[in-house]
Amino acid sequence: MTALQNRYEFVLFFDVENGNPNGDPDAGNMPRIDPETGFGLVTDVCLKRKIRNFIELATPDIEKEEGKAYHIYVTEKAVLNRNHLQGYEALKLKPEPKKLPKKEEDARNLTRWMCNNFYDIRAFGAVMTTDVNCGQVRGPVQLSFARSVEPIMPQEISITRMAVTNEKDLEKERTMGRKYIVPYALYRVEGFISPHLASDETKGTGFSEKDLELLWQSLCQMFDHDRSAARGKMAARKLVVFRHASKLGNAPAHTLFDRITVNRSDATGPARSFSQYAIEINQENIPEGIQIEEKL
């Protein structure tokens, strides 16, 4: 597989209905919010988790090619040193505590092995300088925080527990609980993909065109495999991709992002569905070398 040769930026819109898209553990799991403006937030870490989960589910259907695999490095309850030891064992190297192999070529091959075998390292990079040291790499794919297009109004809902844990509590009153929901919100997240950090050269991860297509697929489908009572109904609504003709790029990212605007088509009362919004893409005077693609 050939490493990525073009720069990309993208914008993903997703929404939530009667759910909590990303709870804040420091605020009783309340939906994350910008306290100065009231706009809702979803962290990049939360979205990367959903991408990783989708890739892990899709792995059996992905054909390996040219020695590259699609394992996930950061999984639930993962022991990272175990993943690192796989690289040492595959290359027949002996690990030394907290040190890379002494030979530069061995160290480079070790980090390359990790990139080749773990999709999320190829995409997002990783700091692997633990007791079993495999180096570190910067990933070509980066996401911003998602931000709601309008201020949100989280609601605290009371719930009751009908069952009890212990026999002695059988006749006691049922306990009350709380959960937070956002009745409806549309979120926008912006992303960046650098071909320089994807190159097959010494410091690149080897992120390829095939990896990129898998990323687009995960962005479009990740919410379909992330259902829970807490998150309500979430869906990816639109994915707009800006493809540059060169590695260096043909226009500043912020000017491309500014081409995508969101307006309320129905401004009567608070928004409660995606149909109340209109997403517009300015197609006039597109800079030379920029191609706009709608993946969703």
How is residue 181 written in tokens? 């929901």
pLDDT of residue 30: 94
Q: Quickly state the pLDDT bin for 114 (edges 50, 70, 90).
A: very high
Percent of residues, the chain, with pLDDT higher than 70: 95
Residue 140 pLDDT > 70: yes
pLDDT of residue 3: 76
pLDDT of residue 67: 67
CB of 234 within 8 A of CB of 21? yes
Mean residue pLDDT of the chain comes to 91
Task: Give which of 24, 72, 30, 22 is closest to 47, Cα–Cα.
Answer: 22
pLDDT of residue 64: 60
pLDDT of residue 219: 97
Residue 153 pLDDT > 80: yes
- Tell me the mean pLDDT in the region 245-253: 95
CB of 241 within 8 A of CB of 8? yes
Query: Which residue is it, tokens 């609504």?
Result: 237
- Tell me the mean pLDDT in the region 214-231: 93
Q: Taking the model in full, what pTM does it have?
A: 0.92
Q: Which residues of 97-116 are buried (b: 16+ CB within 10 A; e: fewer)?
A: eeebbeeeeebebbbbbbbb
pLDDT of residue 63: 60
- Tell me the mean pLDDT in the region 73-90: 93
pLDDT of residue 121: 96
- Tell me the mean pLDDT in the region 172-181: 79
